[in-house]
Structure 1
């Protein structure tokens, strides 16, 4: 995914947990983007030697660990535990979205096997062009447009009572 992580996570959390507190929702949105922080290592340290999905930040067990730790922590601190759990859940949403056209090792550390749901063939001179011209990118655009519509609609709904009262 190039543009779909944040919009996809937005749609998921707005649909699955519509009453999520703003702070936990923000943690989930940050978590949905956090796995790609490894791109800094990929470009500036590793010199693109390994695909960034091979780094720890793209191992679902890491995000599952955050989620479980947060859920356990809620027993003592509901707010902090919920934030950590939201962050982990966002990371897991990222992993699911990456699994569509990317390779994610869901069984790691027991297995490195990783198979994308859809394989994007190298049809252009650069891999980015191949992705941008693949039908799955149109799905990403659709997800992004739908998320923008939901966001806009929610903003409009929250402003309506204000307009009625004035």
Structure 2
């Protein structure tokens, strides 16, 4: 993933603050503790990629940065355990809460990277890389290989949801739905807008699949057409 790590960490922290951590931070969402926890989640979400600085300026792009210790799940599990125990020993539960949240967001980063990247989940016992989908390296700039892959839509979805939660759009949507239920004209307008949005989404999806597979499906269809035409001419 490229753009969704920070937003994913934000969403994870929002879930924490409304469930298991609700009693420890209180109900005031603009409190200092709440803001600190949200910041910890966002920073934790992008923290594993800090090794990219070393990768570019010191390692000179010789080693894939997913091979560094900061991209190993065992590293963040150990950090979470160590910092959590330290906070408990120092009798500072809030320190443990912040650091565990940050490390949890870092682990979520690795889960997201597993979608199209390679993460060594069994390190140090096994160096087998795990990934769900493989992104081809047909473009010179590696970023293009990811943004033209259909899984980039997952990143866009995560970013969109994070923005909606941050801007409290769900509350606005509930208010709009209340108004729409009372007006049939508005219902027709929103149905048409929804159909248009669905059509645009399908076009983007088809376009991304087309980019990803480099028109191989269409090339096979053309080859099949030429094959049939050639055989038909021979029969004649």
**Superposed displacement of residue 95, structure 1:** 0.9
- Which residue pairs with 2:99 in the alignment? 84
Aligned length: 157
Please say if 1:57 is aligned against 2:70: yes
- Provide the C-alpha distance between the structure 1 equivalents of 2:81 and 2:57, rounded to a whole number of angstroms: 32
Larger gyration radius, structure 1 or structure 2 = 2
Counterpart pick for 1:133 among 131, 145, 148: 148
Counterpart pick for 2:122 among 76, 96, 107: 107
- Provide the C-alpha distance between the structure 1 equivalents of 2:42 and 2:105, rounded to a whole number of angstroms: 6
- Which residue pairs with 2:226 in the alignment? none
- Provide the C-alpha distance between the structure 1 equivalents of 2:7 and 2:108, rounded to a whole number of angstroms: 11
Counterpart pick for 1:28 among 24, 34, 41: 41
**Superposed displacement of residue 68, structure 1:** 1.5
- Provide the C-alpha distance between the structure 1 equivalents of 2:111 and 2:14, rounded to a whole number of angstroms: 17
- Which residue pairs with 2:162 in the alignment? 147
- Provide the C-alpha distance between the structure 1 equivalents of 2:160 and 2:15, rounded to a whole number of angstroms: 16
Deviations 1:50-72 (A, max 9, x none): 10000111011111112222332
Report the aligned-residue RMSD.
2.1
Question: Mind listing any 5+ residue stretches in structure 1 that lack a counterpart?
Answer: 158-166
- Which residue pairs with 1:9 in the alignment? 9
Counterpart pick for 1:40 among 43, 53, 63: 53
- Which residue pairs with 2:110 in the alignment? 95
User: Tell me, what secondary structure is at the counterpart of 1:72?
Assistant: helix
Does the 8 Å contact 1:4/1:141 carry over to 2?
A: yes
Please say if 1:119 is aligned against 2:134: yes
- Bigger RCO (CA 8 Å, 6+ sep): 1
**Superposed displacement of residue 92, structure 1:** 0.7
What's the TM-score, normalizing by structure 2? Answer: 0.61
What's the TM-score, normalizing by structure 1? Answer: 0.85
Does the 8 Å contact 1:100/1:118 carry over to 2?
A: yes
